[in-house]
Amino acid sequence: MSPHGSQSRLQVPTPGIRYQIVVDGQLRTPTAMKVTARIWILGGVAALTEIMWRINIPPALEDKMMHGLPSRGTLRARGAVLILLVLLALAACTAEKGPTVTQAGQTLKTHILQALKERQAQNVNITDPGGRNISCAQGKAKQTFAATGNDLPERRPETLRSMLLGTVERIAPYEIDDAESFDKPIRVSSDSLRVTLVLDSPSSGVYAISGETECLALS
C-alpha cells in the first residue's frame, strides 16, 4: 500500500481463527485447545468406566448387594453416564467463564498503552482513563479507555492506522470487525478477551486508540 494513495485498500481476511497457540512445539488454535481439553475429559471418563467394569466382587456378596435391585451391569452403565454428564457440565461451565469487567478493563488499558509503546509514540496522552464501571443490563458493566500519541509529522493517517493494526495483531488475537480501507478508523475485537479497539489517526503524525469491554459480570 502506498502511504500517499487516495484509495488504500485493506484486504479483510476471511472470518475465522487467525492466531494459534504453541503447545509442545505444535501450533494449536484456541478452538483446537478447547476440543483437546474436552477429549481429555472424555478420555478420563472412559478410563474411569473401564475401571468400574473391571472391579471384581465375589458372587455371593454381589447377590446380597443386588437383591431386589437392577443388575450390576445396569448400575455401572447408569453410573458411567451420570459421571459423563457431570464432567461435561463442569467442562462447559469452565469453557464459558470469561473475564470480569475489571479484568477486561485492565487488558484494554494494557493493550492500548502497549500498542503505543511498540509504535514508539511520543507525548502519550491518556484521553479516557477508564477504570469506571458503566452500567449495562442484567447487573453487568463495561469499561472504556483511550489514549493518543505522536509519530513523525509527515506520516499520513492511513499509514499510521496500518501500523497500529499490525501492532495490535501481534499483541493479542484481535480480528478485524469493520474496515474497508485505511482511510477511516479500523475496528478490531477479541472474543476471548471480550475487548474492542478502534484504531485511528485524526491527523498526520498522530495515533489515537480507544476501546471498550463487553458488558461483563462484576465478579
Cα(196)–Cα(79) distance, integer angstroms: 45
Contact 144, 136 (CB under 8 A): no
**Average pLDDT score over the chain:** 76
Q: What is the CA radius of gyration of the chain?
A: 26
Fold held by 99-213: TBP-like (3.30.2030)
Burial class (CB in 10 A: 0-12, 13-18, 19+), 174: buried
Cell of 70: 437392577
Residue extents of the structural domains in the chain: 23-96, 99-213
pLDDT tens sequence for the chain (219 residues): 444 444 444 444 433 334 344 444 443 444 444 444 555 555 555 555 555 555 555 666 556 555 655 555 555 555 555 666 556 555 555 445 789 999 999 999 999 999 999 999 999 999 999 999 999 999 999 999 999 999 999 999 999 999 999 999 999 999 999 777 899 999 999 999 999 999 999 999 999 999 999 999 998
Q: CA quadruple 41, 45, 50, 52: dihedral positive or negative?
A: positive
- Strand 206-213 to strand 195-200: parallel, antiparallel, or no bridges (unpaired)? antiparallel
Burial class (CB in 10 A: 0-12, 13-18, 19+), 42: middle
Q: Is the pTM of this model over 0.85?
A: no
Q: CA quadruple 102, 104, 105, 106: dihedral positive or negative?
A: positive
Residue 181's identity, in one-letter code, is S
Over the stretch 73-97, which tens digit does the pLDDT of each residue have? 555 555 555 666 556 555 555 445 7
Residue 205's identity, in one-letter code, is G
Q: How far is CA 117 from the centre of its chain?
A: 23
Cα(118)–Cα(14) distance, integer angstroms: 27
Cα Dmax for the chain: 91
Cα(211)–Cα(44) distance, integer angstroms: 42
